[in-house]
Amino acid sequence: MATSNFSTTILVDNSKEEVFNAINDVRSWWQGEVEGSTDKLNAEFSYSVPGIHFSKQKIVEIVPNEKIQWLITDSKLSFVKDQSEWTGTKIVFEILEVNNKTQVRFSHLGLVPEFECYGDCSNAWGKLIQESLFSLITTGKGVNVFG
């Protein structure tokens, strides 16, 4: 299997602390139903769009203002043959200072081109990070990227 995980970056004028807090406010940028705590080490939360997507995330690393990592412990994607493709993958947010700006590097480790959902999932992540999370960080309000 290839090691080309999906990743995307955004660059903002906001502080690393503002970026960190926005990422942890998952309900404000990831459209769907979010249940559980999204901002504490070892906390678990679920994300769902009924009939389409369910995933359960465990926060396995949190370094304030620097890094957040989620482990997908369960998933069901109704639109692909292997509905548990995400299970065991990791989602990582790295927060860096670059030229007096703050960069967010988002990676979905294990979301690789061999996955059936790669096209749809990478497109969705791109919109969520580039548009909704970017908007939350820069304006205080996420946007609905799925219409």
Does pLDDT of 146 surpass 90?
no
56, 44 Cβ separation under 8 angstroms: yes
Chain mean pLDDT for the chain: 95
Residue that has been written with the tokens 């700006």 in this structure: 101
DSSP summary character for residue 124: H
Instruction: Report the share of the chain in percent with pLDDT over 90.
Output: 95
pLDDT at 118: 93
Burial (CB < 10 A; 0-12, 13-18, 19+), residue 147, is exposed
pLDDT of residue 4: 85
Residue 3's pLDDT band (cuts 50, 70, 90): low
The pLDDT confidence band at residue 2, using thresholds 50, 70 and 90, is very low
